[in-house]
Structure 1
Amino acid sequence: MPFVRIEYMKEAHHNKNLNKISKTIQQTLINEFDVPIKDYFQVFQSHEAHEFFYDESYFLNSKRSNKLLYIYVTLAPGRSKAKKLRFYKELSTSLSTHCGIQTEDIFILLVETERENWSFGNGLAQALEGGIPIEK
């Protein structure tokens, strides 16, 4: 049940490529985190250059470009460190291969929150009300 937010610099990615980026992220979530196919909730937000800041080389031996993507994945806890490491690697490789984005431009942040903190609509907390099993 991840929710994905992707932020990028306006004009750095074309609409056609945003669709490919979205599909690539979703497929990686399915492959690496066993996310159900219909569990597909993403939003893209573009920013003007004067609103988008980053260091070109922090933690890298090379440089980021203006095609930098900030990818926030909010999801329930429970994945092992090994699964997370595979996810980071697979997503970076897939976005590079399928979308032409250099791996230095893929900044991923996993944000874990308990299932009880989610409402999927209708004013219900489905995990608290028996609609979604809460993992222990």
Structure 2
Amino acid sequence: MPLMKIHVLKGRSTDEVERLLDTVHEAMLQAFQVPERDLYQILNEHAASHFRALDTGLDIARTDKFVMIEVVTRPRTRAEKMDFYERLCRLLSENYGVESSDVMVSIVQNTDEDWSFGLGRAQFVTGDLA
């Protein structure tokens, strides 16, 4: 937790996908201060005809390296979110060659009772997780 949903255009190699997922995880670990084994990622690859992402009128250039990330998480502070955006863009550029103009993030917050990691329990509510 958080749950990272990552959307990209089809065509990346296995190595590229692994670097992308590792980089997203690294940014999340650093910004949200969660344990390393908090690893929940879904990569969705889309055909170009099924994936559109403009710039909301901000004149941000997009390329075929565009990455859209939806983060489902417990509440985070504004500072944590700003840190995540900055770290994610910096690390994606350094580790993966994706420029910040090709990174879009949406954070969706929920509460402790919205998470069950298995066994039919809500571990944040039961106290199994802090």
Cα distance in 1 for partners of 2:60, 2:127 equals 49
Q: Supply the AA of the counterpart residue of 1:43.
A: I
2:26 match: 27
1:83: how far off?
Answer: 2.0
Q: Percent identity?
A: 30
Counterpart for residue 46 of structure 2? 47
The equivalent of 2:4 in structure 1 is 4
Q: CA deviation at 1:68?
A: 1.1
Following TM superposition, the consecutive aligned residue runs of length 4 or more in structure 1 with deviations greater than 4 angstroms are: none
Residue 111 of structure 1 corresponds to 108
1:82 aligns with 2:82: no
CA distance in 2, matches of 1:59, 1:109: 17
In the alignment, the residues of structure 2 paired with residue 46 and residue 104 of structure 1 have an alpha-carbon distance, to the nearest angstrom, of 19
Q: Pick the structure with more helix per residue.
A: 2
Q: Is the 8 A contact 1:10 1:47 kept in 2?
A: yes
Aligned 8 A contact 1:7 1:70 in 2? yes
- Please list every run of 5 or more consecutive structure 2 residues that lacks an aligned counterpart in the other structure: none
One-letter amino acid matched to 1:115 = D
Question: How is 1:9-20 mapped onto 2 (pairs within 5 angstroms)?
Answer: 9-11=9-11, 13-20=12-19
2:124 is paired with a residue of what secondary structure?
coil
Instruction: Provide, for residues 67-87 of structure 1, a one-character-per-residue CA deviation record: whole Å limited to 9, x for no partner.
Output: 21111111101x221221111
Counterparts of 1:47 and 1:66 in 2: how far apart (Å)?
A: 11
- Secondary structure, counterpart of 1:44 in structure 2: strand
Q: How many residues align?
A: 130
Partner residue of 1:122 out of 119, 124, 128: 119
What is the Cα deviation at residue 59 of structure 1? 4.8
In structure 1, the gaps of 5 or more residues are: none
Secondary structure at the counterpart of residue 8 of structure 1 = strand
CA distance in structure 2 between the partners assigned to 1:115 and 1:21 by the alignment: 28
Question: Normalization by structure 2: what TM-score?
Answer: 0.91
The alignment yields a C-alpha RMSD, in angstroms, of: 1.4
